[in-house]
């Protein structure tokens, strides 16, 4: 994901007033002072949620409990990668004993809670991470995503705003895409368009921004523009059931029933458990 240069950051600040996502976890272990929590695209309740690489780069020399806690979190990350959730949870408990203020540990606890379907508990951990690291863009963005996915979209916007004020945040396009999709959910059309288009200017391959724009344009009656965004989305991996359903609805709107049916058939084949996969042509 590209980093904003000073000129781009100035534009974001001027235009957005400091404008500043899940169940399955893919974890990448890197250097001893860096944690990358990567969460895949998720679609829930009509809103596609994306979280960035959750990057914790501590430029300070960790000492004592902080260093020990970081080691435990890295160990937990490794156990999650290998599928040993019980050991991962034990390591996180140990991490918090060494450093009760470890935002990294609380962030990973949140991912574990979401994995177990404990949404409210996950929200508490995400919130705790932002309290412990109130200026960290990734933590702010991820809590914003949780809020928006839990019918608290109006609260989420402020967290996306704050995420974009972090000069060390290396995923501005992700926060912008999340902000735009959440704004669209709130009916804030002007902000939705602005944030989604800015996200695509920074990252043309943002699946969230492309998906959100396709759905938004279809809802506004701009079917040809919706098709353009949908085709760009479908050219990227991973393909989702929602992206195929949106493509089917667009073709249905444009009167191409054969194309609409092909997208539904593909969704049935690739995502047999997805809502709507047993529906008729066009997802109706």
Residue 27 reports pLDDT greater than 90: no
Reduced to 3 states (helix: H, G, I; strand: E, B; else coil), residue 56 is strand
Which pLDDT band holds residue 68 (cuts at 50, 70, 90)?
Answer: confident
- 82: how many CB neighbours lie within 10 A of its CB? 10
What is the C-alpha to C-alpha distance for residues 83 and 15, in angstroms, rounded to an integer?
A: 44
Single pTM value for the model: 0.75
In terms of pLDDT, which residue wins out, 137 or 5?
137
pLDDT tens-digit map of 83-140: 899 999 999 999 999 999 999 999 999 999 998 999 999 999 999 999 999 999 999 9
Cα 79 to Cα 26, 34, 60, 74, 118: the distances in Å are 11, 16, 26, 9, 20
Tell which CATH architecture fits domain 208-284: Alpha Horseshoe (1.25)
Average predicted confidence (pLDDT) for the chain: 81
Listed in order, the ranges of the chain carrying CATH 1.25.40.10 are: 6-203, 208-284
CATH code for the structural domain at 6-203: 1.25.40.10
Q: Spell out the residues 6+ positions from residue 109 whose beta carbon is closer than 8 angstroms to its own.
A: 92, 125
pLDDT tens-digit map of 48-63: 443 333 444 444 444 5
């Amino acid at each position: 994901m590209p980093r904003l240069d000073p000129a781009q950051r100035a534009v974001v600040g001027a235009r957005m007033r400091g404008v500043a996502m899940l169940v399955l976890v893919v974890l990448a272990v890197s250097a001893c002072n860096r944690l990358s929590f990567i969460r895949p695209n998720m679609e829930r309740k009509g809103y596609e949620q994306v979280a960035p690489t959750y990057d914790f780069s501590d430029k300070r020399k960790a000492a004592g409990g902080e260093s020990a806690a970081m080691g435990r979190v890295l160990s937990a990350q490794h156990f999650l990668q290998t599928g040993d959730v019980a050991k991962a949870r034990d390591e996180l408990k140990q991490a918090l004993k060494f450093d009760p203020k470890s935002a990294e540990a609380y962030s990973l606890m949140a991912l574990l809670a979401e994995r177990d379907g404990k949404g409210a508990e996950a929200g508490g951990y995400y919130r705790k991470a932002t309290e412990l690291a109130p200026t960290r863009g990734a933590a702010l963005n991820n809590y914003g995503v949780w809020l928006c996915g839990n019918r608290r979209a109006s609260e989420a916007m402020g967290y996306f705003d704050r995420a974009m004020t972090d000069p060390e945040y290396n995923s501005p396009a992700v926060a912008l895409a999340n902000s735009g999709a959440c704004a669209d959910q709130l009916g804030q059309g002007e902000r939705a368009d602005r944030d989604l288009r800015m996200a695509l200017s920074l990252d043309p391959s943002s699946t969230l921004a492309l998906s959100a724009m396709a759905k938004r344009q279809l809802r506004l009656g701009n079917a040809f523009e919706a098709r353009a965004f949908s085709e760009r989305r479908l050219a990227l991996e991973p393909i989702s059931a929602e992206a195929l359903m949106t493509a089917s609805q667009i073709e249905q709107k444009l009167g191409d029933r054969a194309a609409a049916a092909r997208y539904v058939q593909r969704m049935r084949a690739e995502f047999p458990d997805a809502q709507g996969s047993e529906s008729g042509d066009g997802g109706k």
